[in-house]
């Protein structure tokens, strides 16, 4: 199968009103720029007539394809499946609610193909969202910049463009769609750009993301940072932390013992070691140190047994 210029991956949930208008908008932009393209609508368990509309669009336009989940798995799962199905030299993701503009696609394509970016992330500089959403978003974007070293303004913007090889080299799961640039960077694709994009007001329906995302977001970021840095070498984290804690507890215990001996040698009545709070603190720290060390050891055993323990991303080989 010959590669398309662009694959557009659109995850959706209950967006029946917007799909026909979005399709017409995409077709107009693609035809104006003479792109060969495919559109993947990933129906994430919609309860309305979204899938029926996708079927009717597919019957009229062979460039439109669809995948339907039997239940709602989340945006990350939809994107991951769409990435696996895509066949474009450039893969563009966007939301189905008409808040992302297909008019941005030609410039995103140019930045990938001509400027050489691995990934270009949209930046909704002017947003039409309530303050209850914009303030936490700014906070999490700041935290992600500091932790990842990727200086993007809007990690969670749904409008992004990728080299085709990037989306076939990463795995998106859980709620990790917010941090795809971080995942891409740790997969070796560090040439990441940003483009200011137009943000539309929501025309139909309501947002599908509740306040729970403000709890899941930081936890997912910590997961990515841990797996990226220590996924293949857990002993480097747990073993080091455990050893340090054990040594601290051992030093406290030694101090208490030496102090007891000093009192006995000077014939001074000394309190029982077990009556001192420091003894219990030292004991707890030593136990935690041993547990952390064992966690690192077990993690190493699991890592060594993993089927992809020696899976590394490579550039094309010279033969």
The per-residue pLDDT for range 54-78, each reduced to its tens digit, is: 999 999 999 999 999 999 988 989 9
* Cβ atoms of 185 and 84 closer than 8 Å: no
Q: Same domain, yes or no, for 198 and 267?
A: no
Q: Same domain, yes or no, for 164 and 245?
A: no
Q: What is the pLDDT of residues 254-285, one digit of tens each?
A: 988 888 888 888 888 877 888 888 889 999 99
Q: Say if 26 falls within a structural domain.
A: yes
Q: Same domain, yes or no, for 167 and 240?
A: no
Helix intervals (H) in 88-130: 105-113
The radius of gyration computed from the CA coordinates of the chain, to the nearest angstrom, equals: 26
**pLDDT, greater one: 144 or 94:** 94
Structurally, the chain folds into a number of domains equal to: 2
The domain of 295 spans: 235-305
Q: Say if 311 falls within a structural domain.
A: no
Residue 180: Cβ-neighbour burial (10 angstroms; 0-12, 13-18, 19+):
buried
**pTM for the whole structure:** 0.73
Q: Same domain, yes or no, for 119 and 62?
A: yes
pLDDT at 317 over 80: no
What single DSSP character describes residue 269?
A: -
Helix intervals (H) in the chain: 19-32, 50-60, 75-85, 105-113, 131-148, 164-167, 180-186, 213-230, 235-265, 277-305
Pairing of strands 119-123, 64-68: unpaired
pLDDT at 318 over 50: no
Residue 172: Cβ-neighbour burial (10 angstroms; 0-12, 13-18, 19+):
buried
Q: Say if 318 falls within a structural domain.
A: no
């Amino acid at each position: 199968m010959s590669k398309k210029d662009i694959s557009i991956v659109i995850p959706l949930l209950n967006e029946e009103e917007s799909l026909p208008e979005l399709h017409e908008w995409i077709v107009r932009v693609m035809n104006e720029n003479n792109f060969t393209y495919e559109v993947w609508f990933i129906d994430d368990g919609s309860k309305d007539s979204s899938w029926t509309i996708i079927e009717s669009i597919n019957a009229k336009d062979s460039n439109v394809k669809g995948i339907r989940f039997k239940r709602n798995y989340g945006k990350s799962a939809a994107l991951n499946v769409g990435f696996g199905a895509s066949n474009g030299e450039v893969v563009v993701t966007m939301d189905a609610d008409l808040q992302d503009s297909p008019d941005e696609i030609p410039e995103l394509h140019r930045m990938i193909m001509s400027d050489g970016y691995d990934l270009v992330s949209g930046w909704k500089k002017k947003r039409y969202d309530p303050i209850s959403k914009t303030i936490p978003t700014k906070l999490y974007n700041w935290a992600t910049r500091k932790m990842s070293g990727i200086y993007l303004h809007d990690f969670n913007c749904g409008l992004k463009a990728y080299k085709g090889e990037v989306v076939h080299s990463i795995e998106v799961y859980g709620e990790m769609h917010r941090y795809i640039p971080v995942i891409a960077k740790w997969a070796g694709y560090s040439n990441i750009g940003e483009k200011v994009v137009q943000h539309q007001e929501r025309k139909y329906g309501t947002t599908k993301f509740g306040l729970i995302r403000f709890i899941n977001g930081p936890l997912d970021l910590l997961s990515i940072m841990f797996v990226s840095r220590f996924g293949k070498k857990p002993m480097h984290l747990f073993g080091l932390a455990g050893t340090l804690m054990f040594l601290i507890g051992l030093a406290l215990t030694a101090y208490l013992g030496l102090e007891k001996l000093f009192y006995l040698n000077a014939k001074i009545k000394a309190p029982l070691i077990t009556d001192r709070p420091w003894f219990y603190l030292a004991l707890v720290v030593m136990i935690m140190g041993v547990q952390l060390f064992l966690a690192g050891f077990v993690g190493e055993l699991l890592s060594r047994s993993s089927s992809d323990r020696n899976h590394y991303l490579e550039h094309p080989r010279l033969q």
